[in-house]
Structure 1
């Protein structure tokens, strides 16, 4: 009897030996928690773009070229001077005068409203578009009239010394830039139409003998710059539904004998 028991014990030991060895082999390795904050998901690091590819550079390069060229030609420079441009315009339109430029300066805004009422979705909602327009207008008016009073360039017709830059042109190109920005994702033709109107305003200011070539070129730059400043300084903070800060949540709580309450959890990670 003792021999039979010993034989069964030996068989049981041999049967469980591979299982014990297998369990020992797959035993979990302790997790190294000392490096858990060192990019655990393997997300690639954010590569910082060069300064010349930033939004500020892209937004100011075209206005800077226009304003710079306008300032350069205002002093008598350029391959096509102010006097040459005025001579050619007076030759083509010796007696033509119109008040159409006073009306067309707001035509791009009319286009903005008509397209929006037609059901075309703009980039921003109406409230935020209005705020961008307000900020851009204030910036444009402030810069244009400040430069006018600093430079005090006489107009071609000699009526006053508020020639540089053209306020009409700045206004028209500001409105055209906003139309282009709001609807360029739908169709580029909205912007083409608005900029065509703005260019017509610039041409009419020279035909009416109210501005030099340099005035309208710089005015276009100031208008585009003002629109870009309006968008760069805007983050759509108005018109949003109220909500909790990111990472914060509120949960109803109840404790025996303590009644109901509200618990707040704020995840700082």
Structure 2
């Protein structure tokens, strides 16, 4: 049981190490150096370029990649502290105990969002953009988990089917926890701690209920976190706000109502 608890704690700590891309303050543009324009077309010195290890992509994927990689390495009896070893430890502690609480807890981190917003704490994104990030994250997670489940064809511990790897419940819980952490970490890290604690409990119950191996829940956590990170990285068009950098111009989406036509939406575009 101690080894199992250590695995859960390590999972939660790895999740807390996740660092979503930070907004970089705009810098004053530097005049182009026409004498060396063919050597350095962008006008950015080599010393000013970010290293690969400090890039947004690397920081967003390193922790999920470690989780998915470790999970895949411990399938069945393989790797360091294999899934067979974890199952033996769990069954010796919990026997035939079963609970359906994990079916509900997988959504629990999301409940933090309206509770915190009603408490007067502002999220990182406005309501519309937050909803778009959540929708995009869910699509990425559901698609990737379904594809990997089908291709891996790993049998569940209870032999009910061959859709064990990775755990969809765990992916869902860690996706929600990652969004809570990203939206409110600037206000307090404890919002993320609570969300990741709930997600870790889902992973534990999936194994206690004999529905998933250790490899499934660890990889599931990675898929959930990665899905949230990819959604944030790709969320460039912020509806109702001025877009930054290059683009087609300023756009806005405003709800309207008229006595004759009823409710609708007005899309405004101001070209650059």
Q: Give the TM-score range, shorter chain.
A: 0.7 to 0.9
Per-residue CA deviation, residues 129-164 of structure 1 (Å, 9 max, x unaligned), is 000000010000000000000011000000010000
CA-CA distance at 1:226 after TM superposition:
0.1
CA-CA distance at 1:100 after TM superposition:
0.3
Residue 78 (str. 1) matches residue 79 (str. 2): yes
Residues 128 and 236 of structure 1 are in contact (CA less than 8 Å); yes or no, is this contact kept in structure 2? no
SS at match of 1:74: coil
SS at match of 2:74: helix
Aligned positions, number: 208
Larger radius of gyration: 1
Structure 1: runs of 5+ lacking an equivalent: 1-35, 247-265
Structure 2 residue aligned with 1:96: 97
Residues 123-142 of structure 1: matches in 2 within 5 Å?
A: 123-142=124-143
Residues 76 and 84 of structure 2 are in contact (CA less than 8 Å); yes or no, is this contact kept in structure 1? no
Structure 1 residue aligned with 2:13: none
CA-CA distance at 1:219 after TM superposition:
0.1
- TM-score normalised per structure 2: 0.72
What is the RMSD of the two structures over their aligned residues, measured on CA atoms?
Answer: 2.2
- TM-score normalised per structure 1: 0.73
Per-residue CA deviation, residues 189-218 of structure 1 (Å, 9 max, x unaligned), is 000000000000000000000000000000
Structure 1 residue aligned with 2:199: 198
Cα gap change, 1:127 to 1:84, in 2 (>3 Å) = same
Per-residue CA deviation, residues 166-209 of structure 1 (Å, 9 max, x unaligned), is 00000000000000000000000000000000000000000000
Structure 2: runs of 5+ lacking an equivalent: 1-30, 35-42, 251-270
CA-CA distance at 1:38 after TM superposition:
4.7
Aligned counterparts of 2:119 and 2:237: Cα–Cα separation in 1: 23
Residues 77 and 85 of structure 2 are in contact (CA less than 8 Å); yes or no, is this contact kept in structure 1? no
Residue 224 (str. 1) matches residue 225 (str. 2): yes
Structure 2 residue aligned with 1:50: 51
Residues 154 and 165 of structure 2 are in contact (CA less than 8 Å); yes or no, is this contact kept in structure 1? yes
SS at match of 2:78: coil
Residues 148 and 163 of structure 1 are in contact (CA less than 8 Å); yes or no, is this contact kept in structure 2? yes
Runs of 4+ aligned structure 1 residues displaced above 4 Å come to 36-39
